[in-house]
Amino acid sequence: MTVGLRPTQRRLAVLGSPIAHSRSPLLHAAAYRELGLDWEYKAIEVTGETLAEFVDSRDAAWRGLSLTMPLKRDVIPLLDSIDATARLTGSVNTLVFDEVGARHGFNTDVPGITDAFARRGFTTFDRIHVLGGGATAATAIAASAALGARQVTVSVRSPERAAALREVGRGVGVEVSIGSLAVAGTLSSDAIISTLPNGVDAGVGFDESTRRSTVLFDVAYEPWPSTLASTWLAAGGTVIPGIDMLVHQALIQIRIFVHGTPTIAVDREGHVLAVMREAVGAPRD
C-alpha cells in the first residue's frame, strides 16, 4: 500500500503512558535533521481511554503517530486499513494519515527484530526460543518466521494463558509449542528472543555452553544490560540489545512517514541510520 503525502507542515508524535522516557523523539529528530526536513516529533501522554479523541482531533498538519503498548492494540478499531504483519500480530505501532485523512496502520517491530539480527550477520534460524508470552511475543513469533524458523518454543509462567500464540504461529507458518519458564533453561535452540518486560529477572538459568553458542536477542534496552544479557556477556556469548530493534523499527517508521510505504528507502539511508544510532548511544559495530 502506498499512502500519498500531503503538502502541509508535518507533525508527528509517539503516544503512551508513561511516555516521557521514550527515546523515539531523539531517533526521529536525528533522522529528520539528516534528511533536511523541518518536522516536529514529540512524546505525548495518551491512554487507551483518550486515544480515540486524540486521533480524531488531529488536523491536516499531522502526518503520523508511533504507538506503545497497550495503544498498539487499542488503535486498531480506529484505522481504515492495517498491513498484513499488523493483522497477524494484532499490533500496530505506526499510524500514518494519507492525503484525505484516512488512517493506515503498520507493524514495524517485526522487521525491527529481523533487521537487528541481520546487522549482526544472522539471517536464518531453524529453531527459535521465545521467553515471555506478553504482547511482544506475537511479534517475536512473526519475526522468527521471517528468519526462516520452522519451530518456535515459547516459555511463559502460565502456559495455559498463552494458547493464542499458537494461532499466531499458524498464521505465519511456524509450529509453536508452549511450555513453562521453569524449564526454559533446559531447552536447546539456534537463537533466543527474550521479550521479558524491562529485562526482568525471571530466574531462568542457561548453562555456559548455551550462553556461549546461542545468540540472545533481548528486547530490553533500559536498564542495560539486563540480568539475562549480563549472564550471556559473562560467558562471552553474542547478545543483540533491544536498542537495535528500537532503532531499526524507527527507521522503517520514517520510511512510512516520508514515503507512505515501508519498502522505499529514504535518501542516504545508511547515514540516517548512523546518526540515529549515535543519537541514542546504540553500540557501534
Output the pLDDT for position 45.
Answer: 98
Which residues neighbour 53 within 8 Å (Cβ) at sequence distance 6 or greater? Answer: none
Which band of pLDDT confidence, cut at 50, 70 and 90, is reported for residue 222?
A: confident
How many Cβ atoms are within 10 Å of 170's Cβ, its own excluded? 12
Give the per-residue pLDDT at 7.
Answer: 42
How confident is the model at residue 5, as a pLDDT?
45
Q: Which active-site residues does the annotation give?
A: 72
2 pLDDT more than 60: no
- Domains in the chain, start-ordered, CATH in brackets? 11-108+244-279 (3.40.50.10860), 121-237 (3.40.50.720)
How does residue 285 score in pLDDT terms, banded at 50, 70 and 90? low
Q: What are the tens digits of pLDDT across the range 94-128?
A: 999 999 999 999 999 999 999 999 999 999 999 99
**C-beta separation of 152 from 190 below 8 A:** no
Spatial contact of 179 and 157, defined as CB atoms under 8 Å apart? no
Cα 36 from Cα 178, distance rounded (Å) = 47
Rounded to whole angstroms, how far apart are CA atoms 16 and 11? 17
Q: Tell me the CA distances in angstroms from 10 to 55, 60, 207, one per residue in order.
A: 15, 9, 51
> Which amino acid makes up residue 30?
A
- 117: which 3 cell numbers? 539480527
**SS3 call for 81:** strand
pLDDT at 223: 87
Q: Is a pLDDT exceeding 60 seen at residue 3? A: no
pTM for this model (two decimals): 0.94
